[in-house]
Structure 1
Amino acid sequence: MKKKIIVAPLNWGLGHASRCVPIINALIKDNFTPIIASDGSSLEFLKQEFPYLETLHLPSYNIKYGKNLKKNLFLQLPTILRAIKEERKIIELFITKNSTVSGIISDNRFGVRSSIIPSIYITHQINILSGLTTFFTSRIHQNIIKKFDECWIPDNSNSEFSGKLSTSSRKLNQKFIGALSRFKREELEQSIAVLIILSGPEPNRTFLEEKLISAFKNDKRNVVFVLGKIEAVQKSWVINNCTFYNFLLSEELEHKINSSKVILCRSGYSSILDLAVLGKKVFFIPTKNQPEQEYLANYLEDTKLAPFSEVANFTSEKLKEVKFYKGLQVAKVEFDVALFSLFHSKRKL
């Protein structure tokens, strides 16, 4: 009987879920049976990507943020802690009832771990940036990481794309697993002038959508919007020069990106790795007051890989800056299935 592995991405935008796609594919290829555990859009996205896999619904962290991320997260802490406690119970009960479950891969879900089977934690943020409290938020996160058997960092060993986010002298059983992406590069005709990929929690996603629709409404180029709204039915429509999709699955989005001259998106880490694997020119608009995205945008601009703009200052003319930057580039390597060796061990008593 095949061993089952729980794969549980955090539902905060689609980045955590999308970077689990190559891991799920690698598990299937290595003769494991993945079980998808999440909530909200992340769960719906992976159900559409893998409609034949078993799923497990977990409680939502319901993370929202506005002008002050730290304040909002602090106010939401009781809700988040309740969700973590509840998901721990759900996972423990599921493992007890299913003797073939042999491992857990948690992408930033703190409560998805077990004391009787190997538990892996995926993050590119060993350090959590929070201004004056960075030391404390980073230490709290690192103490959570230490409760897992291993920490997988989706980056090269020199932290090429994550910078100081993934750098730590603490022993956290961390392993750099390379650029993690669901996509493959293909040389196609560059028929799309600008591909706009939206993602992230509300209301920020909608705010950016409205801003960019206004910015490109009179643009004469071929502009394509992928709105990142996971719904039951995939839809597309055209307004003036702009083509809109409510969402695209991996294969379709891969084709669109490979067919585009310039990508415009948030500076989310999964997006950065996807675009690096595809070797694209990109312009970033980081989510305001989200320190991770603001740091990554500044870091990639400083290394002359990609420019960025705050949403309030963005105009379509700013895309001309892209030609002065090298663009994102990294050689994709196949996911190393040797990382799954932990899952062949027997359950602890």
Structure 2
Amino acid sequence: MKTTSKNILIAPLNWGLGHATRCIPIIRELQRYGFTPIIASDGVALQLLQKEFPNLLTIALPSYEIEYAKDEKDFKWKIIKNSPKMIQAIFVEKKRVKALVKEYDLKGIISDNRLGVYSKKVPSVFMTHQLNVLSGKTTWISSKLHRFFIAKFTECWIPDHKELPTLTGKLGHLESSSLNLKYLGPLSRLTKKELPTRYDLMVILSGPEPQRTMLEEKLIEELQKYNGKIIFIKGKVAPEQKMEIQNHITYYNFMTSDEIETAFNESRLVLSRSGYTTVMDLAKLEKKAFFIPTPGQFEQEYLAKRFKRIGMAPFAKQNEFKSEKLLEIDLYKGFPKTNETVNWKQLFILFHGE
């Protein structure tokens, strides 16, 4: 497949679906401004973007093989245990990118948390909402290590407001930094629409295994007691979409962006992980939500606690969730409208070269 010489490589990390879905608005804008995005990732992240953009060139990168522990106490150990595979993948993707720059005459690179996807020969952007990487007692070293990698890129884009009110809190803000940081404002592939309410609750799942399946099984059992209509999106990307209705719950294995946008707008309340991409979607759609952070994932636990503290959304630990806890949602104010601040034209000047 031949592409033009305004090619931009866009490479999200395959860690749940969040990194891939928040790249969707960037891919759309690149196309609008005359660039040709080339998508590079692996696993379900790549599959999702192939479904969204069937006409774009896609390239498989090596997997970081990120896997969660079944027990949250083993979360950090599992990540450490898998780190040699991750480091190996970073070396391989770095080599691969070197060849891709030449092969496709790339004019730029946008990496969403893929540490080896950059080049000294073309402008390279790293996108993250975590300048501070929370890891308990080792936060100082995980944050320092992350910023060491970010410094190799031309710019770092943070999908949040620079000033208050912010969504990321301390995750996406530093007191001082020599990094070339640009705050985009929250990014979402979704748009708020005035549609009639069809569902009392929307459940949307994501995240690496085995925790995604563990939460799915728990919620299917627990939500039998919920009094209201539910749309339940499992976040399992597959070749074919499957829909099943059981009593008051309509199940989908996955949905496209357009379908998810409709489902969000037709639902009164949302139940989900407290992943940052979901948070940005909720803010864009001004929704009320209940969070169940992924056990052991410090970033999601921090965000869930933060939104509870500032009165935006309640949360529960996965093993403590009961359907009656959803009654707490109406005691919280939900997510307020976020102001659009993304100046794409200004951002993309980086890729115009001489």
TM-score, normalised on structure 2?
A: 0.96
Deviation at 1:196, TM superposition (A): 0.3
Task: State the identity %.
Answer: 47
**Which position in structure 1 is the counterpart of 2:113?**
108
Gaps of 5+ in 1: none
Gaps of 5+ in 2: none
What does 1:68-83 align with in structure 2 at a 5 Å threshold?
68-83=74-89
What does 1:1-349 align with in structure 2 at a 5 Å threshold?
1-66=4-69, 67=72, 68-99=74-105, 101-158=106-163, 160-168=166-174, 169-333=176-340, 335-337=342-344, 338-346=346-354
Deviation at 1:167, TM superposition (A): 1.5
SS in 1 for 2:271: strand
Cα separation, 2, equivalents of 1:79 and 1:314: 34
Does structure 1 retain, via aligned residues, the 8 Å contact 2:5–2:107?
A: no
Deviation at 1:95, TM superposition (A): 1.0
Does structure 2 retain, via aligned residues, the 8 Å contact 1:151–1:175?
A: yes
Offset from partner CA, 1:13-52 (integer Å, 9 cap, x none):
0000000000000000000000000000000000000000
Comparing 152-161 and 228-237, the one that deviates more: 152-161
Q: Which amino acid aligns with 1:78?
A: P
Q: Which amino acid aligns with 2:42?
A: D
Does structure 2 retain, via aligned residues, the 8 Å contact 1:2–1:31?
A: no
Does structure 1 retain, via aligned residues, the 8 Å contact 2:184–2:341?
A: no
Q: Which amino acid aligns with 1:271?
A: T
Cα separation, 2, equivalents of 1:318 and 1:332: 31
SS in 1 for 2:107: strand
SS in 2 for 1:273: helix
Offset from partner CA, 1:84-131 (integer Å, 9 cap, x none):
0000111111111222x1000000000000010000000000001111
Deviation at 1:330, TM superposition (A): 2.6
Cα separation, 2, equivalents of 1:98 and 1:188: 43
Cα separation, 1, equivalents of 2:206 and 2:322: 19
Does structure 2 retain, via aligned residues, the 8 Å contact 1:23–1:335?
A: no
Offset from partner CA, 1:202-239 (integer Å, 9 cap, x none):
10000000000001124341111100000000110111
Cα separation, 1, equivalents of 2:159 and 2:260: 21
Comparing 211-220 and 83-92, the one that deviates more: 211-220
Cα separation, 1, equivalents of 2:102 and 2:5: 17
Aligned length: 345
Does structure 2 retain, via aligned residues, the 8 Å contact 1:17–1:46?
A: yes
RMSD: 1.1
Comparing 211-220 and 193-202, the one that deviates more: 211-220
Q: Which amino acid aligns with 1:84?
A: I
Cα separation, 2, equivalents of 1:216 and 1:96: 52
Does structure 2 retain, via aligned residues, the 8 Å contact 1:22–1:335?
A: no
Does structure 2 retain, via aligned residues, the 8 Å contact 1:192–1:259?
A: yes
Q: Which amino acid aligns with 1:340?
A: F
Q: Which amino acid aligns with 1:104?
A: I
Q: Which amino acid aligns with 1:69?
A: F
SS in 2 for 1:76: helix
Does structure 1 retain, via aligned residues, the 8 Å contact 2:5–2:104?
A: no
Q: Which amino acid aligns with 1:109?
A: R
Change (3 A) 1:269 1:245: same
Cα separation, 1, equivalents of 2:85 and 2:123: 27
Cα separation, 2, equivalents of 1:336 and 1:53: 24
SS in 2 for 1:214: helix
Does structure 2 retain, via aligned residues, the 8 Å contact 1:26–1:335?
A: no
Deviation at 1:334, TM superposition (A): 6.5
Deviation at 1:69, TM superposition (A): 2.0
Q: Which amino acid aligns with 2:46?
A: L
